[in-house]
Amino acid sequence: IAGITQAPTSQILAAGRRMTLRCTQDMRHNAMYWYRQDLGLGLRLIHYSNTAGTTGKGEVPDGYSVSRANTDDFPLTLASAVPSQTSVYFCASSLYRNTEAFFGQGTRLTVV
């Protein structure tokens, strides 16, 4: 079934540790995104990529990095996790920037 796969589905992480959230899409979409969802704040854009080889910063990029080596994969890395990065992380993709985005099932991350 075509779509977006995120891994892991949930994780408890010690503060200061490095963590990479994985995201893979098989729809050949050009654009990909990482959002975080926090209660009362909705979804906020962390980083995005308009096409393979390019990335851009969103609303809340600090403490996160991304790469887009190919069309399908868009990993999100937390270099040194802090408790404020406890959140649900959603990866999404769209054919172009102004078309509808398709979302993965999310990764629930708890930093302790």
Partner 1 sequence: AQSVTQLGSHVSVSEGALVLLRCNYSSSVPPYLFWYVQYPNQGLQLLLKYTSAATLVKGINGFEAEFKKSETSFHLTKPSAHMSDAAEYFCAVSEGNTPLVFGKGTRLSVIA
Q: Which residues bind partner 1 (CB under 8 A)?
A: 4, 31, 33, 35, 40-45, 48, 58, 90, 92, 97-98, 100-106
Residue 18 beta carbon to partner 1: minimum distance, rounded to whole angstroms: 25
User: Of all helices (H) and strands (E), which one includes residue 99?
Assistant: none
Residue 42 beta carbon to partner 1: minimum distance, rounded to whole angstroms: 4
At 6, list the tokens. Answer: 């995120």
CA–CA separation, 40 and 66 (whole Å)? 25
Query: Please, which residue, 35 or 81, has the CB nearer to partner 1?
Result: 35
Kindly give, in sequence order, each residue whose CB lies less than 8 Å from that of residue 80, ignoring residues fewer than 6 positions away: 16, 17, 18, 63
Query: Please, which residue, 5 or 65, has the CB nearer to partner 1?
Result: 5
